[in-house]
Amino acid sequence: MAKIVVLYKKPSDAEVFNKHYSSVHVPLAKKIPGLKKHDISAGVVGTPAGSSGIHLVATLYFDSLDARKAGLASPQGQAAAADLANFADGGADFYFFDTKDV
Amino acid sequence: MAKIVVLYKKPSDAEVFNKHYSSVHVPLAKKIPGLKKHDISAGVVGTPAGSSGIHLVATLYFDSLDARKAGLASPQGQAAAADLANFADGGADFYFFDTKDV
């Protein structure tokens, strides 16, 4: 399974972020072709030391790296990417990788 | 489902890291009580800009935040944590959070 992990850093206004994220961004992301599963953090994102600078973690799952690439390159993928500028003002780190169970 | 996401930064010697990780660390981690699933990145961890500073991403899944806490606090969890010093010389970022499907 190929994953995209997105670490959204703390935005200037968490309430504004959350509203846009759930009402606009998630519906856009769910249209990405090949997306098999999509989960997000619920509540605080912690670290061994306590709180983190991360507001939300999203994970998107695709069957393969090629499916992930095609999904992001699609018009729907591009629309979701373009929407980031509308709410993720704290920045976000994206990581792309294939996975295997161990 | 509660997750632990570990971003292992690039170590001084990837071959040494990989050997220790697969032969020692994964077996230790798999003994953590309550661990339901464990997957790791396979191959390169990329970003939208290209390569990342991340060598490996591990995700550990538990039924709940309480199960995750109990697992890490157990002797087996402590043994896995203590083992990090033996191979993760590039450092690692740990994130703890509950998840929901969207």
DSSP, collapsed to helix, strand or coil, labels residue B81 as helix
Which of B26, B38, B57 is the closest to A97 by Cβ? B57
Q: What does pLDDT average to over chain A?
A: 97
pTM for the full predicted model: 0.96
β partners of residue A92: A8
Percent of chain A with pLDDT over 70: 100
**Chain centroid to CA A53: how far?**
16
Which tens digits make up the pLDDT trace of B13-33? 999 999 999 999 999 999 999
Classify the complex by whether its ipTM is higher than 0.85, answering yes or no: yes
Provide the pLDDT confidence category of residue A75 given band limits of 50, 70 and 90. very high
Q: Hey, is the C-beta of B44 within 8 angstroms of any chain A C-beta? A: yes
Tens digits of residue pLDDT in A55-70: 999 999 999 999 999 9
| Cβ-contact A101, B38 below 8 angstroms | yes
Residue B42, CA atoms < 13 Å, CB-side half-sphere: 12
Among B38, B57, B96, select the one facing A95 at the smallest CB separation.
B57
Helix/strand/coil percent split, chain A, to 5: 35, 40, 25
CATH 3.30.70.100 fits A2-43+52-98, yes or no: yes
| Domain boundaries along the sequence of chain B | 2-43+52-98
pLDDT-derived band at A22, boundaries 50, 70, 90: very high
Judging contacts by C-beta atoms under 8 Å, the chain B residues touching residue A18 are none
Question: Virtual CA dihedral for A77, B48, B11, B37, nearest 10 degrees?
Answer: 0
A101 touches chain B (CB under 8 A): yes
Burial class for A101, CB neighbours closer than 10 Å (0-12, 13-18, 19+): exposed
Evaluated on CA atoms B32, B34, B37, B39, the torsion sign reads negative
Phi-psi region of A43 (alpha: psi -120 to 50; beta: other; left: phi over 0): left
DSSP structure class, residue A24: I
Give the C-alpha separation, A38 to A21, whole Å: 13
Distances (CA, A) of B4 to A26, A44, A65, B7, B99: 22, 13, 23, 10, 10
CA dist., res. B4 & res. B89, Å (int): 20
pLDDT recorded at residue A63? 98
What are residue B46's DSSP bridge partners?
A: A96, B51
Nearest CA in chain A to B97: A45
Of B39, B46, B94, the CB nearest to A100: B39
pLDDT at A101: 97
